[in-house]
Amino acid sequence: MKLAEIESTMQKTIEATQRSFNTIRTGRANAALLDRISVEYYGTPTPLKSLAGINTPDSSTITIQPYDRSALNIIEKAISLSDIGLTPNNDGSTIRLNIPPLTSDRRKELVKSAAKLAEEGKVAIRNIRRDGVDAARKQEKSGDLSEDEARDLQDSIQKLTDKYISKVDQLLRDKETDIMTL
C-alpha cells in the first residue's frame, strides 16, 4: 500500500465526515438536512433529492417540490418517519418544513451527535493507519522493504494519521461553533 493511496483514503474519510456533519441540524434551514432521507418510490428506496427540488427560501424554511405530484404523500411520510425531528406541511403541491429555533438542550444533543460522528471518522482513519502499517510490515517480512524503509513508512503513515485526525477535530470544532451560535 503506497503512502499516496493511504492519504487519498484518509481524505475521502474527511469528506465523508463532513457530509455526515452537514446532515446535523443547526438553527438555519439547510437542504443537506434531507440528504439521508430515502423515499420508498415504486418499491425502490430513492434519495429524496432525486424525487424533488429542495429549496431554502429563507433561513427558517425548506420547501420540497416533487417532480411527480403523486409522490407528495410518500415524501411527506418519509420525512415524518425520519430522525430529523421536523413536521412536514403539505399544501397539495409543495411540502414546507419550518425550522424552529433550537433550545439549548437540543443544541447540546446535536453537539453530542456531532462528536459521535467525529469519533467514527477518527476510527476510520485509525483503521486506514492499521492497514497501512500491516502492509508495510508484510513488505518488510517478504523482503520488499528494508527494516529502515519499513520504519520510515510507518512513521510517515503515523504523521498522516495525526494530520487527518486533527482535521476531524477542526471540523468538529467548526460544527460545534455552528450549532451553538444563535
DSSP character for 30? -
Query: Sorting pLDDT into bands at 50, 70 and 90, what band is 43?
Result: confident
Residue 60: per-residue pLDDT: 82
CATH number of 3-21+103-180: 1.10.132.20
**Can you read off the three cell numbers belonging to residue 3?**
503512502
Q: Do 3-21+103-180 and 28-98 have matching folds? A: no
The rounded distance, in Å, linking the Cα atoms of 75 and 88 is 9
Q: What region does 95 belong to: left with phi over 0, alpha with psi -120 to 50, or beta?
A: beta
For 132-172, the DSSP string reads HHHHHHHHHHHTSS-HHHHHHHHHHHHHHHHHHHHHHHHHH
Report the amino acid identity of residue 66. Answer: P
**Rounded Cα–Cα distance for residues 35 and 22 (Å):** 9
Rounded to two decimals, the pTM is 0.71
The reported pLDDT for the residue numbered 40 is 87
Average pLDDT value for residue range 142-153: 89
Instruction: Quickly name the fold that domain 28-98 has.
Output: Gyrase A; domain 2 (3.30.1360)
C-alpha–C-alpha distance, residues 96 and 89, integer Å: 5
User: Does position 67 have pLDDT exceeding 70, yes or no?
Assistant: yes
Domain map of the chain by residue range?
3-21+103-180, 28-98
Measured CA distances, 2 to 84, 121, 135, 148, 149 (Å)? 40, 21, 9, 16, 13
Q: Which residues contact 14 (CB under 8 A, 6 or more apart)?
A: 121, 164, 167, 168, 171
Residue 127: is its pLDDT beyond 90?
yes
